[in-house]
């Protein structure tokens, strides 16, 4: 157990809808990163939050957005869902000041139909 929890574990949405995924980081970790993992692929970096500010973004469109709260928990929001958004969404927390080890949650399996 890493201490990182994500909710919900599974979700089914219709194309065009919006979704919010949640992540509680490990205690003491002020940095949260979100990844998208398609079946059979590696985790793709979406963005990272450090002390409530986005401080890095991967190659994802603006309809992928996020928030980090004062307790360092985080949300990933995806608008105008597309079929290709179906994937496992992983949240990883690190203590900051050098991300040598990321602690992952179990992920949210999103299916867009």
Partner 1 sequence: GQSLEQPSEVTAVEGAIVQINCTYQTSGFYGLSWYQQHDGGAPTFLSYNALDGLEETGRFSSFLSRSDSYGYLLLQELQMKDSASYFCAVRNRDDKIIFGKGTRLHILP
**Residue 105 touches partner 1, criterion: CB under 8 A:** yes
3-class SS letters over the chain: CCCCEEECCEEEECCCCCEEEEEECCCCCCEEEEEEECCCCCCEEEEEEECCEEEEECCCCCCEEEEECCCCCEEEEECCCCHHHCEEEEEEEECCCCCCCCEECCCEEEEEC
In terms of CB distance, is 40 or 62 closer to partner 1? 40
**Residue 26 touches partner 1, criterion: CB under 8 A:** no
**Residue 44 touches partner 1, criterion: CB under 8 A:** yes
Q: Taking the complex as a whole, how short is the minimal distance between the CB of residue 15 and partner 1, in angstroms?
A: 25
Among 24, 25, 26, 48, binds partner 1 (CB under 8 A): 48
Q: Taking the complex as a whole, how short is the minimal distance between the CB of residue 17 and partner 1, in angstroms?
A: 25
**Residue 102 touches partner 1, criterion: CB under 8 A:** yes
Nearest-5° Cα angle at 102, 23 to 99: 115
Residue owning tokens 């002020």: 30
Q: Count of residues binding partner 1 (CB under 8 A)?
A: 24
Binding stretches for partner 1 (CB under 8 A) = 2, 33, 35, 40-45, 48, 56, 90, 92, 94, 98-107
């Amino acid at each position: 157990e890493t201490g990182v929890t994500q909710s919900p574990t599974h979700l089914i949405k219709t194309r065009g809808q919006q979704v919010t995924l949640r992540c509680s980081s490990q205690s003491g970790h002020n940095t949260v990163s979100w990844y998208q993992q398609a079946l059979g692929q590696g985790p793709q970096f979406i963005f990272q939050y450090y002390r409530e500010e986005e401080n890095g973004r991967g190659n994802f469109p603006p309809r992928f957005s996020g928030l980090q709260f004062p307790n360092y928990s985080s949300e990933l929001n995806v608008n105008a869902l597309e079929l290709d958004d179906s994937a496992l969404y992983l949240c990883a927390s690190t203590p900051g000041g050098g991300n040598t080890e990321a602690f992952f949650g179990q992920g949210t399996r999103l299916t867009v139909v």
